[in-house]
Amino acid sequence: MKSILFLMLIPFAMFADKPGDERGVNIKDAHSYSNPAEIVVQHLDLNLKADFSTKKLVGFVDLQVKNLTDADTLRLDTYNLKIESVKVNDAPVKFILKPADEILGSELDIPVTASTKVVTINYETSPDARALQWLSPEQTAGKIYPFLFTQSEAILARSWIPLQDTPGIKFTWTATIHCPKELMALMSCPQNPKQIGNGNYSFKMPLPVPSYLMALSIGDLAYKAYDNRCGIYAEPVMLGKAFHEFSDLPAMIASAEQLYGKYPWIQYDVLVLPPSFPFGGMENPCVTFATPTIITGDRSLVSLIAHELAHSWSGNLVTNATWNDFWLNEGFTVYFESRIMEKIYGKDYADMLNLLSQNELKHTVAVMGDNNPDTKLFLDLKGRDPDDGMGDIAYEKGRFFLMALEEAAGRDVWDAFLKKYFEEHRFQTMTTEKFVKYLDANLLQENPLIKQKVNVDEWVYGTGLPKSLPVIKSRYFDTVEKAAAAFIKTSAIPDTTRWTTHHYLHFLRTVAPEMTYEKAVALDNHFHFTQIQNSEIAFDWFMIAIACHYKPAYQALENFLNTVGRRKYIAPLYRKAAADTTLKPWIEKVYQTARPGYHAVAVKTIDEIFEGK
Ligand code: BES
Ligand code: ZN
């Protein structure tokens, strides 16, 4: 009883990792200059004006800190910020902005004392701030108003807010955003869609979050609700289509809750961004940011929404402590995504998705090499951009590890374990080591048979794919494989009655290595893949077109590269075309034109391709 009272008196302790380790502050993060083990930011209050003419956010942030060890310096992360002035408890102080590191940015040192409560930083962002993309009206669906969005994961929050940019700590925040009055501002917190901002919006996130989940978007936006806690934000001309595409959202939330407990973030909305958004989706709390390229009209790519929703538990509630532990965010989320898909659309459907992913994973490991240290789940990214660790391994090897455990434990036992794991670590951070220990103490010790079937260390700390990789079978895909074999042999066009997007994807991936120019002509004449509006199929088709020099698709590919900025598509397309000596001059020219339309994270990756890195 006494301890319960004690917890109630100190609200932050509710989220404590263990006594004396508030919000996991003792974990060393190689990608942050900050010193949260000494002095930790507990609340952040942001006040920014979005200036579309200069492409700058200008204003200040108040950081409420707790000095845990009588530290004399608060160290913050910044990237290309212009720091105007700093105050400590309202009195101006001298600060030091250290020289910039290409990956980490500049450390900002602020003198503090034991009595320091609030640190105020006046600053502005640079026009090419890495997290931000300022879009011209032409880059939007409506073509009339400009647009701004942020992408903070992994370490880009520091390019628009000076803060302790590590997933190892969590803080609450409030914000005031000033923008042109015809636009709507939206942030990653619960909000009232009916708020008429008139150019001034206020936000409040009462639940603690890590820095990479700070997000802002400003544009000509409208809202349509499915129910009282979930709906869609999009540009008015996109809203109807998007609303139709994602209509299973309430069912997805209900399924997720059955698995892992009540949805913790009050509201769940999806914001559909313009096509230059560099990712498929980003799990910003309360409002997932999503690419419009998943809107196909037939709802066939909505597993991405299930994925971002799943992050509400894995990632947003229980957070990877460092980027080396990224698989804890993504592997758990892909696993969870698949469970949601299975619950709503059935096992046959989920099997297709799982098999497509496993084939990709096998391909990735084959390309990377079985002994490549980056094929381990637990990574060592020190000295590197965390982006380097963000491929298939964390996602798919991570997911199949959890699936292997599920198969060995039996679904009921496994589900009970997971539910308890999420419940016990709400609002905390998690390291790989801590998870492995928890798994051992709460599942493996009582069930020695699981250990015999699944070698945890081999999965987590070993390279390549372990022998206990689950075997996925899909009866739908058996038919597709027969059709693919026939096509390879005789160019016979398959009967695609009742095929879904996933059937086509499996077909194209199976025939890809055997494709020739003539076979491309045959497929395109029949299916018109060059004109297809489904981005997943279009991507696979364009990869084939590049491989067999299928010229009739080049113009469509060029148009695709000029509108879509989703890195998962454009990076492989550029890589493949740039590796082909006859196509290289052309694709370089395409990139020159398209590059100004991409977000900085995509630009960085594709610049590296052309620099031969
Ligand atoms: N959190 C990620 C996106 C991300 C990862 C951004 C690393 C920056 C660094 C998001 O949840 C994600 O995984 N998106 C995927 C979609 C998913 C269905 C695999 C994407 O964008 O393709
Ligand atoms: Zn994810």
Query: pLDDT for 124-159, tens place per residue?
Result: 999 999 999 999 999 999 999 999 999 999 999 999
- Residue in 477, 453, 459 with CA at minimum distance from that of residue 399: 459
Closest C-alpha to ligand 1, atom 10: 282
Mean local confidence (pLDDT), 374-403: 96
**Confidence band (pLDDT; 50, 70, 90) for 613?**
confident
pLDDT surpasses 50 at 476 = yes
Atom of ligand 1 nearest to the CA of 329: 1
Whose C-alpha lies nearest to ligand 1, atom 3? 282
| Pocket of ligand 1, beta carbon within 6 A | 153-154, 279-283, 304, 307-308, 311, 330, 390, 395, 568
Q: Quick one: which atom of ligand 1 is closest to the CA of 307? A: 18
Task: Evaluate the CA torsion angle 363, 469, 316, 230 in order and state its sign.
Answer: positive
Residue nearest to atom 1 of ligand 1 (CA): 282
For residue 176, what are the β-bridge partners? 47, 202
Task: Find out whether 155 and 390 touch, Cβ atoms under 8 Å.
Answer: no
Q: What is the pLDDT of residues 54-68, one digit of tens each?
A: 999 999 999 999 999
CA of 311, closest atom in ligand 1: 11
CB neighbourhood size of 437 (10 A): 11
Q: What is the 3-state secondary structure (H, E, C) of 46-59?
A: EEEEEECCCCEEEE
Tell the residue nearest (CA) to atom 20 of ligand 1: 280
Q: Please identify every residue whose CB atom is under 5 Å from ligand 2, which is an ion.
A: 330, 333
C-beta separation of 235 from 219 below 8 A: yes
DSSP 61-97: EEEEEEESS--SEEEEEESS-EEEEEEETTEEE--EE
What is the β-pairing status of strands 96-97 and 106-111? Answer: antiparallel
pLDDT, mean of residues 45-61: 98
Residue 266 has phi, psi (to 5 degrees) of: 70, -55
pLDDT at 229 over 90: yes
Give the pLDDT band (50/70/90) at residue 25. low
Q: What is the pLDDT of residue 581?
A: 97
Cα 360 to ligand 1 centroid, rounded to whole Å: 16
Residue 18: the pLDDT is 42
What is the Å distance from ligand 1's center to 262 Cα? 23
Token representation of residue 546: 């590049």
DSSP 21: B
CA nearest to 60, candidates 121, 125, 118, 110: 121
The answer to whether residue 501 scores a pLDDT higher than 50 is yes
Residue 170 scores a pLDDT above 80: yes
The stretch 577-587 carries a mean pLDDT of 98
Q: What is the mean pLDDT of residues 104-119?
A: 98
pLDDT at residue 67 in the model: 97
Q: What is the reported pTM?
A: 0.96
Cα separation of 588 and 603, whole Å?
13
> How far apart, in whole angstroms, are the C-alpha atoms of residue 209 and residue 266?
14
Q: pLDDT averaged over the chain?
A: 95
Pick from 113-117, 123-127, 388-392: least confident: 388-392
**342 CA to middle of ligand 2, Å?**
18
To test the pocket of ligand 1, the residue of 282, 384, 392 to mutate (highest count of ligand atoms within 8 Å of its CB) is 282
List residues with catalytic annotation: 308, 395
At 389 the pLDDT is 84
- Mutating to test ligand 1, I would choose from 284, 313, 330 the residue with most ligand atoms within 8 A of its C-beta, which is 330
Is pLDDT larger for residue 554 or for residue 11?
A: 554
SS3 state at 332: helix
Q: Over the stretch 258-302, which tens digit does the pLDDT of each residue have?
A: 998 999 999 999 999 999 999 999 999 999 999 999 999 999 999
Query: String of b and e for 5-39 (b: at least 16 CB within 10 Å)?
Result: eeeeeeebeebbbeeeebbbbebebebbbbbbbbb
- Position 27 scores a pLDDT of 80
Nearest to residue 248, comparing CAs of 352, 350, 341, 349?
341
Residue of 270, 276, 279 best suited for mutating to test ligand 1, as the one with most atoms within 8 Å of CB: 279
Residue 38, phi-psi category: left (phi > 0), alpha (psi -120 to 50), beta (remainder): alpha
Instruction: Judge whether 277 and 566 are in contact, CB under 8 Å.
Output: yes
Q: What is the reported pLDDT for 348?
A: 97
Q: Is the pLDDT of residue 9 over 50?
A: no
Handedness of CA 152, 155, 161, 165 (dihedral sign): positive
Give the C-alpha separation, 135 to 276, whole Å: 9
Q: What is the pLDDT of residue 193?
A: 86
Closest-CA residue, ligand 1 atom 15, reads 280
Answer yes or no: is pLDDT of 14 > 60.
no
